[in-house]
Structure 1
Amino acid sequence: MTASLGWLLGSFAVAIFFVLITIVVFKVHPFLSLLLGSIVMGLCSKMAFNDISAKIASGFGGTLGSIGIIIVLGIILGELLHQSGCTGQIAGLLLRITGEKRAPFAINLTGFIVSIPVFFDAAFILLLSLIKQVSRKGKIPFITLVTALAIGLITTHAVVIPTPGPLIVANNLNLNLGYFLFYSLIVAIAGSLVGGVVYGRLIGSLPGNATDFANNFDDLEENPVSQTVSKDGPSGELGIFLIFLPIVIILAGTIAAATIADKTSTSYRVLAFLGDKNIALLIGVLVAYLLLHGHIRTSFSELISKCGEHAGAIFIITGAGGAFGSVINATGIGKALVESMSGWTGTSAGLLLIIVCFAISQILRAAQGSTTVALVTTSSIMAPIVARLSGVSPVLIGLAICAGGIGCSLPNDSGFWVVNRFSRFSIKQTMQCWTIGGTISGLTVLACLVVLNFFAGVLPGL
């Protein structure tokens, strides 16, 4: 028996409420909450028992089957860069290029680049010692530099593949990774600069912040910033090259698919093979290991085992999100919603969906704290709608979901406390730099997407 649209929407509201309550109030792990939410959604929408269990299993396995390899490879690449010291070398390189007067820009750009393969927590803690020294030596407000770093890190973490959240969004919406990556870099840079650098300088001028040059760190050694760049370690240029190598390969595959007319030619087949997300990341990992293994103390086997532990936590949430989305799709709510929106034009439908997707993702991010969970859940919800609604840009919809995961970080987010404790900030200062800065970055990305939406159908890939 097929339920009405009103009944399906009510069932969906109950399922989302159930997931949020179990995570926020009862502190249930998102893995169990999403699986139980899938059952609630199926039962409320009158699905057969055996169909619910089958969709949960197929959704879980199908999601991990399509993105599991790239998640592991991305984590391995990040760990190679982290353990070899490339992260600090990149920061030192950019500081030398820009000069200390433009240190907020250099720190922001460092965070933006490093967060592509390296996890937020590790990158923030590693680079914090550098910006303490920059703040004291250059007399730059400490909160300005922390904001520049943190917002650069979280913006990339939420928007640019191969970090897990945007990768899951691209997979759920069946997006072309090359186009998604290209436009994500453009809008993420804008959000990072506005929320991290422009806003960071603004709050650095506020009373109480303007004269704080890492004053809470009286135990900080006054080492010159230049000493953070080791002549014996891998260069910052090499680190940047290794980060962008798989990105360039993926983009090359996308360009080949769009420009080579003969799809049976050897050149097309080779570029399409190399441009596959799994192959591109595998090449990046192998090249990184060959060039960095002399700077890594642990064995490659130990490194992969450690990365597998990190990947496990991501896998169970990702798979559960895929199960939730599979059940939602099976209820027919996406088809019913598309039929109700049949009178919309492409531009208006795209604009409305961009705003709605951003809002849903932002609400989920604020409610339960995790960017990845917010992106997984929102993309699972919207996938059946985007797949059936013509005249809208799936790439822009996917980026809107990612943008919603940047800001509105509250004390239920582990990132909030990483910034708070390691920066030795008050709650007010943490809200100033992290919560508000991230929200400004997300809104800036949203504004860019609204502008791009008017060129959907004109610009390639939109």
Structure 2
Amino acid sequence: MDIYLLLMTLIAIVIVVVGVSWLKWHAFISLTVASVFLAIMSGLSMDKIIGAYEIGVGSVLGHLVGILALGTILGKLMAESGAGMQVADFFVRFFGVKKLPWAMLLSGFIIGIPVFFEVGILILLPLVISIHKTSKQNILLIALPVIAGLSIVHGLVPPHPGAMAAISIYNANLGKVLLYSLIIAIPAGIIAGPLFAKWIHKRVIPEGEPELIRIKKLEHKLPSTGVSFFIILLPVILMVLSTAAPYLGLPDGLTKFFALIGSPLMALLIACFAAFYFLGLRQGMDKNVIKKLTEECLLPVGSIVLIIGAGGGFKQILIDSGVGTSIAQMSENLSLSPIVLAFMIAGLIRIATGSATVALTTAAGIVSPIIEHMSGVNLELLVIATGAGSLMFSHVNDAGFWMVKEYLGLTVKETFQTWTVLETILSFVAFGGTLILSMFV
């Protein structure tokens, strides 16, 4: 029976992969079809299938919808107000031309915390291209560290959707994931960013010219550098405060207050209101412009919400049909560490589907029922290992691959030599960091 259930799970994963890559279905439809197939084939009672799926969707999305929406609004305001450019400009001035790769890594890292990878690219690439034009340096030396910073934060660090989905599915502690992910993300970003860029820019000279992104003339003055940093780091500061509060010996009421304002939803809500005022009204935007920006940026979130929800539904079917227990028993017999298992499964799904979010949510869905009966599993490191796997070997089925190729004016071969290698370095260094950290925490 175990082998049969495992086989059905593999076929369900194949349905997700074939649906996304070959039939060109939206990942939400692929995951839903795979969930229903697995439920029927594993013998789950017909009248319980939809209920189980809906419970799974609700359990993940109930926690995430507000966070995703608020994070997107914050990112949009940073992009439109010029706050992202201000932060990047500060690092470039501070580090100077000699240390440009380090300046670009830090820019990507800081700006990547509150914004999606794609938004971060759009904020920072005009700056990359203008530095490339004035410094006459190989564009890879400037662009790759930025991309490494944005990508590692997007894959591992809350409040990004993938990390938040995995935290929700595994029931991990958000504060600890934030702390551990920053410890692991920094060395991974350094190795895949400035160090790899210094090595590869001598070996790959891009043939094409980068696509000139139209830099919008801002109709208002730019926010100050201090304000820009404050808005970007505010949600992180609030989350760290709430994690630290119980250890500071504060009165009970104050600790609870910090727990409230440091929850991701409240931290991002507070940051959004700060952004409405400091990046919007104070910079000359009127209320109607801010409302329009908010509505514009929320439309694309729908797609990510659906994918994450369907990943939660898939997880619940795995649990209710008994597949999770079967895989748990088999992995215990193979004595595979859950951290290694999560990394491998996320990596394989990422290579097959091209989507880090699909890889993260599906892998977390598969691994979470396995660990229910295990003791001593570090849930926070499990989130990070799954995130690390979801970054592996980006290639032609990943939208990020084509985005980097087009914007930097690379050929397909050059994109493989740079972006694909960079993503794989990030993945394995972050996984190595997780294993090392697991010896101490």
TM exceeding 0.5: yes
Inter-partner Cα distance in structure 1 for 2:346 and 2:37:
21
Deviation at 1:339, TM superposition (A): 4.4
Equivalent in the alignment of 1:216: 209
The match for 2:358 is: 373
2:170 aligns with 173
Range moving further from structure 2, 160-169 or 381-390? 381-390
Q: Are the counterparts in 2 of residues 404 and 442 from structure 1 also a CA contact under 8 Å?
A: yes
User: How far is the alpha carbon of 1:247 from its aligned partner?
Assistant: 1.1
| Structure 1 residue aligned with 2:269 | 282
The answer as to 2:118 corresponding to 1:125 is no
**CA distance in 2: counterparts of 1:16 and 1:413, whole angstroms:** 18
Q: Is the 8 A contact 1:146 1:433 kept in 2?
A: no
**What is the one-letter code of the residue matched to 1:216?**
E
Instruction: Identify unmatched segments of 5+ residues in structure 2.
Output: none
Give the counterpart letter for 1:326 in structure 2. Q
* Equivalent residue pairs, number: 437
Q: How does 1:140-219 map to 2 (within 5 A)?
A: 140-206=137-203, 208-209=204-205, 216=209
Q: TM-score, normalised by structure 1?
A: 0.89
Relative distance call for 1:174 and 1:259 in structure 2 (3 A) is: farther
User: How has the CA–CA distance of structure 1 residues 109 and 381 changed in structure 2, closer, same or farther, with 3 Å as cutoff?
Assistant: same
Match of 2:368 in 1: 383
In the alignment, the residues of structure 1 paired with residue 33 and residue 199 of structure 2 have an alpha-carbon distance, to the nearest angstrom, of: 45
Residue equivalent to 1:407: 392
- Cα distance change on mapping 1:220 and 1:277 into 2, 3 Å: closer
Q: CA deviation at 1:343?
A: 7.8
User: How has the CA–CA distance of structure 1 residues 248 and 387 changed in structure 2, closer, same or farther, with 3 Å as cutoff?
Assistant: farther
Q: Decide whether the 8 Å contact of 1:82 with 1:118 is kept in 2.
A: no
Deviations 1:138-181 (A, max 9, x none): 34221122211222111111111111111111111111110001
Distance 2:416 2:202 in 1: 16
Moved more, 243-252 or 96-105: 243-252
Residue in 1 that maps onto 2:71: 74
In 2, are the aligned partners of 1:158 and 1:371 still within 8 Å (CA)? Answer: yes
With normalisation by structure 2, the TM-score equals 0.93
Supply the distance in 2 between the matched residues of 1:96 and 1:386 (Cα, whole angstroms). 48
Question: How many Å separate the matches in 2 of 1:343 and 1:5?
Answer: 12
Q: Distance in 1 between matches of 2:210 and 2:21?
A: 34
Shift of 1:259: 5.1
Counterparts in 2 of 1:52-131, with a 5 A limit? 52-131=49-128
Letter in 1 for 2:228: G
What secondary structure, in the 3-state scheme, does the structure 2 residue paired with 1:80 have? helix
1:271 and 2:264 aligned: no
**CA displacement, residues 351-376 of structure 1 (integer Å, 9 cap, x when unaligned):** x2222211111111111111111111
Amino acid at match of 1:247: V
Percent identity of the aligned residues?
30
Specify every segment of 5 or more residues in structure 1 that has no aligned partner in the other structure, as ranges: 457-462
The DSSP-based 3-state class of the residue aligned with 1:388 is coil
- Contact 2:6/2:326 (8 A) holds in 1: no
2:322 alignment partner in structure 1: 332
Cα offsets for 1:383-432 (capped at 9, x unmatched): 11233311121111110000112231111111111111111111121112
Deviation, structure 1 residue 215 = 6.9
8 A Cα contact 1:125 1:422, kept in partner: no
